[in-house]
């Protein structure tokens, strides 16, 4: 039977196929955002808590600012920057957690509530579905993090300025000491580097979420940990746990030049090492694994129905 031969000889009576351009990927991504509002609500709540904490800390800010400005420039900058850095790191950590839990539910939820039968009744391929789901932690969440961090830091800057003005001080000392635009550039670079580095973690979570019948978190998290424990007990070595640790934190020493620093801080664009990062085998091995997990999840979804 030829698959092209049946096209509408009957077309005369039925309304011709309208040339409506459909955008399955775009709408599938929208659908993820409609369903999983935690993607932006959780980061917003965290940002609100950060701002609340910062507002409380402005009590006595003027005195501290006077003291910190007596130090030399680099120490003054470090001192003023601390809450801004903490806010950013906390947000990056938040979207990582949100991303992992999103992925763990992405293919499990639709089976649990039987809605997979509805989604599969529409002309959207498993490939498009999986790509739109993978785009959430890899594209959407980094953008959400970036936008919210920039807004949070700007709000913190305004609060500081208001407090300083109220104490008859110049609000510009923050602006002079903290290079916001440079920091936001570093942040953008860092978010891209982190998302790519964590891609296999998200891919694994997606695969588990399409695979298991219950307890997605357990199935995703326990096997690697149990294997690490097994290795430690049996051979008294720690290769697996080293690999796991490297997968979570390993982006930092590769994407940034942190040599000779006590704490992993980035205060110069010279510290960004995209060339070194892109030639790190760990990045590409991770991306190959991520692609493998996503391809497996695409294949698997074809076989999957309601639980």
Partner 1 sequence: MATIEARGLRKVFGTTVAVDSIDLQVEEGRILGIVGPNGAGKTTALNAILGLTSYEGHLNVLGRDPWNARDELMRDVSFIADVAVLPRWIRVTQLLDYVAGVHPRFDRAKAQGFLAKTVIKQTSKVRELSKGMVAQLHLALVMAIDAKLLVLDEPTLGLDILYRKQFYDSLLNDYFDRNRTIVVTTHQVEEVQDVLTDLMFINHGRIVLQCTMEEFEARYVEVMTHPDHVASARSLKPISERQVFGRSVFLFDRVDRNQLAALGDVRTPSIADVFVAVMSNPEVGDERSEARAENKEALSMTKHK
| Contact residues: partner 1, CB under 8 A | 1-6, 10, 13-15, 17-18, 20, 22-24, 26-28, 30-31, 34-35, 110, 113-115, 117-118, 120-126, 128, 302-303, 305-306
CA 207, CA 103: separation in Å to the nearest integer?
9
Backbone torsions φ then ψ of 110, nearest 5 degrees: -70, -25
CA-angle at 70, arms to 68 and 72, nearest 5°: 90
Nearest to partner 1 of 20, 270 (CB atom): 20
Angle, helices 141-166 vs 61-68, to 10°: value is: 90
Contact 119, 301 (CB under 8 A): no
CA 105, CA 232: separation in Å to the nearest integer?
31
Question: What number of H helices and E strands is found in the chain?
Answer: 15, 0
Q: Output the smallest distance, CB 28 to partner 1, in A.
A: 7
Nearest to partner 1 of 24, 292 (CB atom): 24
Place of tokens 């003027």: 62
Contact 79, 67 (CB under 8 A): no
Tokens at 30, concatenated: 């929208």
Nearest to partner 1 of 28, 152 (CB atom): 28
Q: List C-alpha distances in Å: 287 to 102, 108, 126, 138.
A: 19, 23, 20, 12
Q: Output the smallest distance, CB 111 to partner 1, in A.
A: 11
Q: Output the smallest distance, CB 147 to partner 1, in A.
A: 23
Nearest to partner 1 of 60, 123 (CB atom): 123
Q: Output the smallest distance, CB 21 to partner 1, in A.
A: 8
CA 212, CA 208: separation in Å to the nearest integer?
6
Q: Output the smallest distance, CB 101 to partner 1, in A.
A: 16
Close Cβ partners of 245 (under 8 Å, ≥ 6 residues apart):
none
Nearest to partner 1 of 1, 270 (CB atom): 1
Q: Output the smallest distance, CB 6 to partner 1, in A.
A: 4
Q: Output the smallest distance, CB 40 to partner 1, in A.
A: 15
Backbone torsions φ then ψ of 123, nearest 5 degrees: -75, 60
Nearest to partner 1 of 20, 233 (CB atom): 20
Nearest to partner 1 of 59, 121 (CB atom): 121
CA 269, CA 6: separation in Å to the nearest integer?
61
């Amino acid at each position: 039977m030829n698959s092209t031969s049946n096209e509408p000889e009957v077309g005369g009576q039925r309304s011709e196929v309208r040339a409506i351009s459909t955008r399955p990927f775009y709408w599938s991504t929208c659908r993820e955002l409609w369903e999983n509002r935690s993607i932006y609500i959780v980061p917003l709540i965290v940002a609100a808590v950060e701002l609340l904490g910062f507002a409380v800390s402005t009590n006595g800010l003027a005195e501290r600012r006077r003291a910190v400005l007596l130090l030399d420039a680099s120490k003054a900058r470090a001192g003023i920057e601390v809450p801004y850095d903490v806010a950013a790191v906390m947000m990056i950590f938040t979207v990582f957690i949100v991303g992992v839990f999103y992925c763990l539910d992405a293919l499990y939820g639709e089976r649990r509530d039987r809605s997979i039968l509805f989604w599969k009744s529409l002309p959207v391929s498993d490939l498009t579905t999986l790509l739109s789901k993978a785009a959430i932690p890899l594209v959407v969440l980094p953008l959400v993090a970036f936008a919210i961090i920039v807004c949070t830091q700007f709000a913190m800057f305004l609060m500081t300025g208001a407090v300083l003005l109220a104490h008859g001080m110049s609000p510009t000392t923050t602006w002079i000491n903290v290079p916001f635009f440079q920091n936001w550039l570093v942040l953008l670079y860092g978010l891209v580097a982190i998302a790519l580095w964590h891609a296999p973690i998200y891919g694994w979570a997606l695969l588990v979420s399409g695979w298991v019948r219950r307890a997605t978190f357990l199935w995703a998290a326990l096997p690697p940990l149990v294997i690490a424990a097994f290795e430690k007990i049996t051979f008294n070595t720690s290769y697996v746990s080293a690999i796991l640790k490297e997968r979570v934190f390993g982006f930092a020493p590769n994407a940034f030049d942190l040599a000779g620093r006590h704490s992993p801080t980035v205060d110069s664009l010279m510290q960004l090492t995209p060339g070194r990062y892109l030639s790190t085998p760990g990045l590409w091995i991770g991306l190959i694994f991520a692609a493998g997990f996503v391809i497996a999840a695409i294949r698997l979804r074809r076989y999957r129905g309601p639980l």
